[in-house]
Amino acid sequence: MDHLQHIKINFEQGQVTLLNICLGILMFGVALDLQLRDFRYLLKAPKSIFVGLFSQMFLLPVITILLVYIIQPAYSLALGMILIAACPGGNVSNYAVHLAKANAALSIVLTMISTILCVFSTPFIFTVLQKFMPAGITHTADFDINFADMAKTIVQLIIIPLLLGLILNKYLPVLISKIKDAIKKLSFIIFIGFVVAAVSGNIENLKNHLHIVFFIVLIHNGLALLIGYIWPRKIMKLPVNDCRTISIETGIQNSGLALILIFNFFDGNGGMALIAAWWSIWHLISALGLAWWWRKDVVTGEGM
């Protein structure tokens, strides 16, 4: 019996709306750092971009479903794992890559492309992976997820703020240069405040159930970072800094989007929410820690 799905997450509809707004503001802030000329990078490094997108949008979902087969988690936890794998890269990855002194331009482009594609890729990957769930996991909950509805939500939360930021950056550059730092700081403060408030309201859930999801997220995220490095380095023979960038991009997913989708389409399913909530904390620890480690060993050539 999957008792986790019945966990009551203290998250009201008004808070879901606030989280939607926070994510939109964060995406708008990210867009203010983008220029249309950033797309030119596509012509300079097509191989690294292809390898990075393949790692995030194919390899990560594959290792996720394989991990589900191996550990046989509760159904709600498995759903949370595949939803995380279906989400685009998180914008925190750009900061982590910058901290690691890796390829920041590649990171921005990969985040941008995966975010734009997620309108279709997130519902598609989730739907496909859900069909491959192992028979040994008891399907204690069925969700009739409408592809178009999920795509519409992602457009509203991700694409519109990004496009708005790009347009304003192009046509009002002087104004944007004056306000973008304040907007980014404000959105970050709002988001952190919201996370603290949400965690405080669910402290008992975390105390009682964190031990269940801790190692699942640890292994899942660790495999994402590992495959994100080994695939480009050992198989595709990319430069080390590109491999480090792709590793971080594969390991940091937009768990904020995952949480929003959980509360909009999965009735706030407790197991899924616990996976997404702990992932949102742990991937910051792991990626930023890895970035600090790599920062001490900056590579300019073809080292390890």
First to last CA, the chain: 46
Q: How far is CA 292 from the centre of its chain?
A: 20
pLDDT of residue 207 exceeding 80: no
* Model pLDDT for residues 254-272, shown as the tens digit of each residue: 887 888 788 778 877 878 8
Backbone φ, ψ for residue 89 (5° rounding): -65, 150
Question: How large a percentage of the chain has pLDDT more than 70?
Answer: 75
Angstrom CA distances, 248 to 133, 213, 264, stand at 27, 21, 28
Helix (H, G, I), strand (E, B) or coil at 299: coil
Q: Are 161 and 24 in contact (CB under 8 A)?
A: yes
Backbone φ, ψ for residue 253 (5° rounding): -110, 160
Q: How far is CA 58 from the centre of its chain?
A: 14
What is the pTM for the complete model shown? 0.79
pLDDT of residue 218 exceeding 80: yes
Q: Which of 3-7, 75-79, 90-94 has the highest mean pLDDT?
A: 75-79
Distance separating alpha carbons of residues 158 and 67, to the nearest angstrom:
29
Residue type (1 letter), 58: F
* Model pLDDT for residues 29-72, shown as the tens digit of each residue: 767 766 666 566 667 778 999 999 999 999 999 999 999 999 99
Question: How large a percentage of the chain has pLDDT more than 90?
Answer: 28
Query: In sequence order, which ranges of 103-172 are alpha helices (DSSP H)?
Result: 104-131, 147-154, 160-171
Domain residue extents for the chain:
11-295
Query: Right CATH number for 11-295 from 1.10.10.10, 1.20.1530.20, 3.40.50.1370, 1.10.3720.10?
Result: 1.20.1530.20
